[in-house]
Chains A and B, each alone.
Chain A
Amino acid sequence: MVNGDKDVEILIDRSSQIPIYRQIVARIEEMILGGRLPEGFKLPPERRLAASLEVNRSTVLAAYRELKGLGLIDSHVGRGTLVRAAHPATDHQPSAGDAPGRTQISWRQILGDYQPRIPDPLIRDLLSLAERPDVISLAAGLPASELMPLETIRGLLDTLLTRVGPAVLQHSPTEGLTRLREAISRWLVSRGIPCRSDEVLVLSGSQQGLDLIASELIRAGDEVVVEEPSYIGALPVLTASGARLISVPVDGEGMRTDMLAAILDRRRPRLIYTLPTFQNPSGAVMSLERRQHLLELAARHQVPVLEDDPYSELRYGGARVPSLRALDSTGVVLYLGTFSKIICPGLRIGYMVAPRPVLQQLVLAKQASDLHTNTLGQHLVERFITEGHLEPHLTGLRTAYSAKRDAMARALATAADVLRWQAPEGGFYFWCRMTRRIELSRLLGHAADAGVAFLPGASCFAAEPAESYVRLSFSFPTETQIAEGVGRFVEAVRCTAEDPRALYPEAAGTPPLV
């Protein structure tokens, strides 16, 4: 066989269950892979092959399309359909970076669709600024190191290793230790959140819950509702899974559920992600009315709600509002909790509460992700709760963080000309709006000179916000450092505001990217 002018011999079994086009694919594939149809061999035109096989032309078209999909043939205008070269490697042109005579793996070509967002260089600069020893960091939401229950943990660790022994170092169930799941469910119930222990999945930090939900629930192109602003660590996980984010603004009463209602009338998002209590970064608490509205909308439109709740136990004033999980009667809420802010983050213990069928699926996903959460850490948290250390510890934390919050409020009181803010009733953050929109890179320069780090608000938005915000965290620094750090920061803002190059023209808006 030299050319497609001759007919390719294909035997078709019309009595077979296998569709005819698949039989054609299989025969041609066999001939190509077996070397009987060499590279560049011209296959007969569709019409001719169809006639000779006495099949419909669309059948041959379907077969050729599939063979192209398999990479075995190519169509060339004017030349017809030809058998492709044996392997794409032979097509590869060495790039300029390749060392001569050596083949290099091109990782760039190999990487899949999942593309974690490379942090904005400005954010990187800010994070490295926060590492400088002379810099006071108001940037990261770290719990205070001096408030960690170090002695209790040391005692528990010693007891566990001595008394329980090797079992605390062995593999443990993917769902989490039964004792810990029971302790978590008892504790949640005592806080008014209904929960059975078999609805609890122990996580390697609540970030893992976001990751599992993102990779198991969301397919590329799905829409996800997020708050605006939202948690900086959640947005990249959601977008890396291919989600398109729909932002719903947050005001003093939490997510604007009236706007959510309008969105749900027109679109079908896969998930609503919310931090209803002491939201990160805005500090907002969703009102009871909004919570009920949100749940009603979610149930009516059949959209699951992921309630991320790391801060609700850190309340320094005002009345407690029930969690979404506590108000949910339809099983639409997935509840995400963590011990990172209330015991310590270094153990990496979080949890998810979800209806059984969802939980069972997430357990399998977790098993594939990391088998299980570290066993010793789980034992520690279980003992911490069961021996009654958590409640007194929380009381201590509320007192200490409340004093830090007050220190930051006092320090910020003198900055009304440049910053607008409301003291949060709980959580770790002040969310400050700049009275004038200023350019972040200039502010960063002045802040670096002054020796203070902060989180630029824009990193908490899915799209560029219309106004300039900053998030200032009071949890990690001491009260003295808070006073000094805020002083430096306000100074940096004033310097930037006086720098005419740093101001955006008031009404011009963002110039188009060209």
Chain B
Amino acid sequence: MTEPTFKLARRMSRLRASEIREILKVTARPEVISFAGGLPAPELFPVEELIEVSTAVLRQQGGSALQYSTSEGDPRLRAAIADHMRHCLGATVQPDDILITSGSQQGLDLTGKLLLDEGDEVLCESPTYLGAIQAFNAYLPSYIDVPTDDDGMDLDALDTCLARARRARFIYVIPDFQNPSGRCWSLERRKGLLELARRYRVPVIEDAPYSELRFHGEPIPSLRALDDGTSVVFLGTFSKILCPGLRIGWLVAPPPLLERYVLAKQGADLHTSTVSQAQLAAYLDRYDLEQRLENVRETYRHRRDVMVRALEAELPAGAHITRPDGGLFLWLELPDRIDSRSILERCLKANVAAVPGGSFFPNGGHENTMRLCFASMPPERIIEGVRRLARVLREAMDGRPNPAARCHRPNRSDQAERLGD
């Protein structure tokens, strides 16, 4: 067969193969210790329980468990999620406020589809989740990355950005144990964000895949819990707390918007797998999710401890890490002159992998950072992987400044061009 005789629309050109995609291909080799992917640990998946509920669901519901179903989602599952949000996330929502999505990635895509036109502005944390950038990129927005510290966005900076933005469509944040930085927003910053969002009438998209994975300390209410129900779209998922393969996430939106989401979802894939939804609803009905979460948190907390201790012992001076209280990721910051892309190349030769941090900044820069996932590997592999990584870093940092790193630094002409876009 010959080459296709047609070209795809321009927006496709913005969708470049993500770095993570390429890295993950390499890290599939068994000898590689990978801190790159955000894969939850498979040994924690509730396999036995799913065998039991699957049999029960097919026996009780028969053919209807395999049939088409509504775009909004299984009513039992929506009710169970409303319960979960009340108990675990401190937010009161009604089952009717919920749309089941095919993973929370679909929630991001539908958000872009509904709210973004070419040239619109998305305000986001710096850094922010790469998958969200990819989902939004299809709709050709520009990004305003708001300076962010360990307590969340710098609210003065956000205020300035909102005042200057001409076409701000929404503020996208991951307040709990952010991907990639592991940071968690303080209560004050959350309240301040909502105040600004209301003042400027710009909605907030709250992406919360890691909120249930707090290792210690008191949970901080979600933005949805703090909001009056009008300005926040909440995205949740079972991918990190149960298993990702079922592809079940959910979305909570103010009613006029939710109706649009449902229609967009219908156009996108009609509905999420009936079987997966029924399995999950039955699981949540029969088993205690909270008890399971205890186990997941304990495992990940231990792995975080192992990784943090190993890094503290092995890293050369000048490298800094975050010490997240939850989630899957921690963030490594290297001296300015170090280019983490070249570090990755050396890491792969040493059979260890992580994600260069530059990909998480939609406007570029910050090439001296890396994201490490501490959740996927068992403790002994974490220790060995950190040892390999640290060896690469020591060699690189003791050496002469890497001139290549300079090329990736943002400079004034880059910024001017972005302003003009």
Contact = CB atoms under 8 A, between A and B. Distances in A.
Interface of A: 18, 22, 25-26, 29, 33, 66, 70-71, 86-87, 89, 92, 102-108, 110-114, 116-118, 140, 142-148, 150, 153-154, 157-158, 161-162, 165-172, 194, 204-205, 207-208, 210-211, 215-219, 233, 236-237, 240, 299, 302-304, 328-332, 340, 344-348, 354-355, 357-358, 361, 364-365, 367-377
Contacts of A165: 42, 47
A116 B265 CA distance: 9
A2 B199 CA distance: 30
Contacts of B120: 112
A153 B266 CA distance: 26
A140 B69 CA distance: 12
Contacts of B416: 18, 22, 26
Given A71-B166, A331-B2, A374-B276, 5 more contacts: A107-B203, A329-B1, A346-B275, A369-B268, A376-B275
Contacts of B58: 150, 153-154, 157
14 contacts: A71-B166, A103-B201, A110-B203, A144-B63, A170-B45, A170-B245, A216-B138, A303-B6, A345-B274, A361-B12, A361-B15, A368-B138, A369-B105, A369-B106
B115 A113 contact: no
Interface residues of B, number: 97
Nearest to A239: B267
B273 A169 contact: no
B420 A22 contact: yes
B374 interface: no
A211 B266 CA distance: 10
Nearest to B256: A107
Interface stretch (B129-137, B316-324, B344-352): B129-137
Given A104-B230, A332-B6, A370 B269 contact: yes
A116 B138 contact: no
B407 interface: no
A369 B135 contact: yes
Interface of B: 1-6, 8-12, 15-18, 21, 37, 39-40, 42-43, 45, 47, 50-51, 54-55, 58-59, 62-69, 102-103, 105-106, 109, 113-117, 120, 131, 134-135, 137-139, 162-164, 166, 169-170, 197-203, 228, 230-231, 239, 243-247, 254, 256-257, 260, 263-264, 266-276, 413, 416, 419-420
B264 A150 contact: no
A368 B203 contact: no
A47 to B, nearest CB: 25
Given A153-B58, A331-B4, A370-B106, A110 B269 contact: no
User: What 6 A-B pairs come out closest when comparing CB atoms?
Assistant: A145-B63, A346-B274, A375-B245, A116-B263, A344-B66, A166-B42
A154 B271 contact: no
Contacts of B51: 157-158, 161-162
Nearest to B249: A370
